Amino acid sequence: MLQEQMADMKEKMRATEATGTAGNGLVEVTMNGENEVKKIKINPECVTPDDVEGLEDLLISAFHDAKEKIDEACPTPGMGSMGLPF
């Protein structure tokens, strides 16, 4: 029964996707519940050779936003919530 619950949870995490954004949608990062990056979308307006650092900051922000959304959608259960005594 515990193995089935773990398999179901893993499948749910794999199937759950969230898109994080930064810069009012200039950068989007889509990740699944296993923290695998599935897609990166960069608006050409924010690609300028003289501001690579700004683009890097937007990517980091979008990754963090996607990770927060994944964490909300797929909370890691405590051991007690899986029926274990600890």
Q: What is the pLDDT of residues 65-83, one digit of tens each?
A: 999 999 888 776 544 444 4
Residue 70 lies in a domain: yes
Q: Indicate whether this model's pTM tops 0.85.
A: no
Contact between residue 85 and residue 51 where contact means Cβ atoms under 8 Å apart: no
Contact 21, 75 (CB under 8 A): no
Count of structural domains, the chain: 1
Of 25, 21, 7, whose CA–CA distance to 68 is shortest?
21
The CA distance from 64 to 49, in Å, is: 24
- Whether 43 is covered by a domain: the verdict is yes
Query: Which of 9-13, 22-26, 50-54 has the least mean pLDDT?
Result: 9-13
Write out the residue range of the structural domain in which residue 71 sits. Answer: 28-76
